[in-house]
Structure formats: structure tokens, C-alpha cells
Structure 1
Amino acid sequence: MLLALDVHPSRRGDLLSEPTLAFDPPIEARSYVDGFGNACTRIVAPAGLTTISTAFRIFDDGQPDVVAPDAAQHDIGDLPDDVLVFLLGSRYCDTDRLADFAWSQFAATEPGWARVQSICDFVHEHVIFDYQKADSLRTAHGGYVERIGVCRDFAHLAITLCRSMNIPARYCTGYLGDIGIPPVPDPMDFSAWFEAYLGGHWYTFDARHNTPRIGRILMATGRDATDVALSTNFGPTRLARFEVVTEEV
């Protein structure tokens, strides 16, 4: 199994306790950094039930996601080399199937922050959130056609539309609790969102919630959900239980 359960290296300086992974029964684990700079773990799980857990405290400044209306869109020729991959289609972000729609829908919008926000507004209104309709095979085009999904589907569709408009966008996964908002009944404090590269920086966007949030703790980034899955299994497995909880202390 490959595990992406650690806090992203960019947030390690905020940790107030060490987020050590615990395994029951004990398992030998090896840490590594993947090609996207995420902290990951490799294990060989034995037959039977294995429990994987972690708990930690982390400092957050309590400020909502940054909003930068003046952030500009780059010409492709001016993009850093390592950003170019986030313009390409990927497993769940099928740009070839949505490019024509993207240009017909968003070509008249102002390039830069306003264009990404217009994409978020569209996805937020177009897709209905429903935990019962989660589908690990659904691509961005599938979400666009079916108009239903979970947080990953909102992110995949928004990322695909951004890439189609020549805006680099990457998938993000992490903790997102009900901090600074009324409690919501949705299970667990785990979410997917995306980042767009504008004005020389990666900025957070969230097409599902479509409003700046407090206490977002990044775990991993990649091209799409394939790169940042909490666990990737090589062999038959069954998920017996899954629980993610964040609390403001």
C-alpha cells in the first residue's frame, strides 16, 4: 500500500505535535517524497484487519483563504517548467472532452482571478453535492454531464475547465473542519479542493463551497485524485472503517 496521510511539507513548520502514523498490528513502514513533493508512506499490510491512525495538533492563523482579485493569468511561455504539467489532461481531468465547452463558456471572462472565479461559480451551480452518488470512476466530463458528485468531482471539473483555458490547476486534498461556519451534517472533516497558478503563486479555490474557509490543512497535491489518494492498494482490500475529525482547540 502507498499512503498519503501526512501533512504537506509546506505545513510542517506549523505542527505542534508529531503526526506519527500508528499501525495495529505493528507494521514496518518507510517514508518517501513523491514526484509532487508530498510526504508519503509505503507498507506491506498483512492478511486480516489492519488499523492505520494518526493524531496531531497544528497551528493555523485563523484567516480565511487568500483572495487576490488582481492575480494575473500567465502567458504559457512565461510559466515555470514545473508548472506546465498542470496544464495537461490527466486520469480524471479529461481536457480533450471539455476544451470546446470551456472556450465557449469562459472566453469572454477577464483572464486571471476573475476567470477562475467564474469557473468556480459555474461548477458550484452546475453540480449537486450528494455523498450517496460518489463514483470512483467519474471523470470531470462525467461530472459535467451527470451534474452530481462529491468534493472531488467539483475539483476535477473546475481543474479541467481551468486547464482548458490555459490556467495551470492542481488537485488538493486535506483537512477541512467546520471552523468559522455553522456546523454542517456532512460526515467527516476531509475534503478536496484545487489551486490555480496566477501571478506567480498557487492560490486556493474551492468550487464545492465557493467561499473562503478557515482552518484548511493541506495534505497533498497532484494532477488529480489518482496522485493524492489516502491509500493506494496493490491487491484485494476492503475498507472496514474510515473516520476523519478535526477540532478547534
Structure 2
Amino acid sequence: MKFVFDLDGTICFKGQPVSQHIINALLEITKGGHEVIFASARPIRDMLPVIDQNLHHYKMIGGNGSIISKDGEIIYTEAFSPNLIDDIKKLIEKYNATYLIDGHWDYAYTGPSDHRILQNVDPNKLAHLVNVEELDPVIKILILTSNDFEQLENEISQLEVFVNKHKNEKILDISPKGINKWRALRGLGVQKNDYIAFGNDSNDIPIFENALYSVMIGDHEDLSQYANDQIVNKDGLEDEIIDRIQDLTKQYKIK
């Protein structure tokens, strides 16, 4: 069976790497013939530091589906069109917005120097901080601050893009329209009802909709409508996640 895991808030927490306890559980199920795929909002660059090096050859979906890695190599990227980037840049200037913009590997950042998101941006210094004009292609945009966040969100949402607002975060997470984790899974040859999904946020809805079985970590009102199961975020959370993984490997046959 294939197991698809979101990262932040699902199997890694507060910006820290996936614990060795969970890593060991994932290694164990792959030894038993199951497959593990990671699917995150992070670009691949920022997924690697929180995943044990022994798992870096696993299939990874980054940028909410805009970039795919297999056997340690990026094999696919989906970028914004140049015209769309120009339109977004105009809105950024109009509303004096700051951002984190990701290219294939490098990134541009104009946000506050103390913004909490920086703890997750290239912590291993694998990339370069560059001017946005040097990024080609652009695969993902985060709007961090603005002088009129609500109006900026409204105007950006009218473009040919997908906008995700993470729970309890005033950040606009923007991807090319039609890009999501499920589309990337299909690009890896994964079929509907051919996997088990673990996630915690609205950007996991597409993979929950098409999963054979889905497990929500924590509590998210929109995601809960698509979840078959829930693990409450409390003391002993990691042990419960591992127990659920092990139970599901026994319940569902290897495909």
C-alpha cells in the first residue's frame, strides 16, 4: 500500500524535523513492502532538512504539487506563466506586499527579518537568496504582509491561480491554477483509492478526496469533511500516529 504524508502539522511539528521515532516507523513499513510518499506545501529544498537523509530518495511532492522529486532528483516543475507573474507583481507593488517567492531551487524574500516563516526557509543553506527577477521559473508565492491584505487577497483570487489560506495564519499561499497534491500524485502514477493519506490542512483536501482511507491530524473544519479518521493533537500524538500507521499496514494489503 502507498502511504502519502503531509509534513508540517502532520508528522513534523513547530518547524522541527520529523522525529526519529516516526522515521523509524516509516523505514519499517517500507521494509515490509509499503511505499511512503511525502507531499508538502514546502518546496523540495525545504522538505529535505526535516526528513532523514535515509529517506531522501523517497518520492516527494513539494509546493502543493508544483514540484516533484524522485530518487533524489527533481523530475517535474509546474510554473506560473510570465504574464501571470507580471500581474501578481503589479498587485504586490499596489498593496505594498512582502513575499517569499520560490523558483526551482533558489528564492526571493522581502518579508520582515523576524517573520516566523524564516525558520523553515532554507535552514541548511542549500539555495541562494536572490532578486525575484532572477527566478525563472516561479513555482510558488507566499504573500506575508500588505497594507490591505483583504483587498489584495480578493484581487489575486480573481487571477488564474489557486490561493490557500492556512489555518490561523495570515499568509496567502499561491500556486498556479489546477496545481495540487493530487494532480502531482497522478503524475507519479498513483491512482484513485490506491493510497492512504495523512494530512492536517485544507491543501490536503485533494489527496483526501481521492484516498482509499484518510487520517486527519488535529482539527480542521474543511478537511474533516473528507477524513475517515482523526488523531487529536495532544500529548502522545506521535505514538498515536505510529500506532495508526502500523494498524493500517495490517488492515490494507500491499499493492
TM-score (norm 1): 0.25
Larger relative contact order, structure 1 or 2 (CA cutoff 8 Å, min sep 6): 1
TM-score (norm 2): 0.24
